[in-house]
Homo-oligomer: A and B are copies of this chain.
Amino acid sequence: MVNTESDPRFQRSQQAILSAARELLLEKGPVAVTHAQVAERAGVGRATVYRHWPRADELLAEAMATVPMPLLANPTIPTRQWLTRELTTLARQLELDDVRAVATTLASTALWDQQMDARRAQFATILADRLAGALATAQVRGEVSLAMPGRDAAALLVGPIYYRCTIEHGPADSTLIETSIAAIGTWTAR
């Protein structure tokens, strides 16, 4: 790959593959980002996709890092139900082998790869900011009285799902999700 990076055809096919991966990710979700589907969408041979990204999870990581991340992006009211919905979506995605591979590759590769570390930091900051923002607003609105700093919400809400999926390899069910939502503060019954 190093030898051919300056070749304009190499760069063109790389861009076409990445665009195709992003489109598939946005239209059909992470499961659609396979070598076969990306090759078909990009109009290149499957071998070309393999040459650029030997591993599908790394192509998915690249695509994920460069599309807008919808997770926790648009809070709705009631906040508690919104959290349940968003965290359930996250749990279902982390049960997919490819997404789990991206998440764990991100954490481990970030230890020695600066580019991956920047993505890890970006991902962590976005989730922490969104949760802190939504919960601060919910508190002002009287929906919840937070039991901890809003910046801890990501670790307390996403952490259990992440551990369940990547270390325990089990399903993050609604009991786990609801327990963690109850943990972050006192929710007003409505």
- Which residues of A does B touch, CB under 8 Å? 97, 100-101, 104-111, 120-121, 123-124, 128, 147-149, 152, 154-156, 158-164, 166-169, 172, 175-176, 179-180, 182-184
A163 B158 Cβ-Cβ under 8 A: yes
The residue that A162 contacts in the complex, of B128, B148, B159, with Cβ under 8 A, is B159
Q: Which residue of chain B has its CB nearest to the CB of A158?
A: B163
Q: Which residue of chain B has its CB nearest to the CB of A98?
A: B111
B175 A124 Cβ-Cβ under 8 A: no
Copies of this chain, whole number: 2
A107 B166 Cβ-Cβ under 8 A: yes
Beyond contacts A124-B169, A149-B175, A156-B179: 20 other A-B pairs, Cβ-Cβ < 8 A, are A101-B108, A104-B111, A106-B167, A107-B167, A108-B109, A110-B169, A148-B175, A148-B176, A152-B175, A155-B161, A155-B163, A155-B164, A156-B180, A156-B183, A158-B163, A159-B163, A159-B164, A162-B163, A179-B184, A183-B183
A175 partner residues in chain B, CB cutoff 8 A = 148-149, 152
Smallest CB separation, A166 vs chain B (Å) = 5
15 sample A-B contacts, Cβ–Cβ < 8 Å, listed by A number = A101-B111, A104-B104, A105-B108, A106-B167, A107-B166, A110-B169, A120-B167, A128-B168, A148-B176, A152-B175, A155-B163, A158-B163, A159-B159, A162-B163, A183-B183
